[in-house]
Amino acid sequence: MREGTGQRARVEGVRVAGKTGTVPSGDATYSLFVGVAPVEAPTRVIAVRVEATGDHHGGSAAAPVFAELWPHVAP
């Protein structure tokens, strides 16, 4: 992730592409990030949905979870 709101999904040595989002639903707000990696030949897709509190968006709440999960699912 070189630019955009998903920069916190960065994984050392792996090119990641993804999309962030924020969805209000009733009393809750969900932060979303869907990422694919490695960009050159994607082998994994990870979708993260976090029930957020306060001023959290997909890039600040869900994207870091992708980065934490990647080492556990990487090929």
Q: What is the pLDDT of residues 37-62, one digit of tens each?
A: 999 999 999 999 999 777 778 888 89
Q: What is the CATH number of the domain that holds 14?
A: 3.30.450.330
> Residue 36 domain-assigned?
yes
Return d(Cα 5, Cα 66) in angstroms, integer.
Answer: 13
The share of the chain scoring above pLDDT 70, in percent, equals 95
Q: What are the residues whose beta carbons fall under 8 Å from the beta carbon of 36, sequence distance 6 or more?
A: 16, 17, 18, 42, 44, 45
How many domains does one find in the chain? 1
- Neighbour order of strands in the sheet with 28-37: 17-25, 28-37, 44-52
Would residue 27 count as lying in a domain?
yes
Identify the pLDDT of residue 1. Answer: 58
Question: Which position has the token pair 């934490």?
Answer: 68
Mean pLDDT of 13-33: 91
What residues have CB less than 8 Å from 56, skipping those under 6 apart? 22, 29, 31, 50
| Residue-level pLDDT at 28 | 86
**Residue 23 domain boundaries:** 7-73
The answer as to whether 1 is a domain residue is no
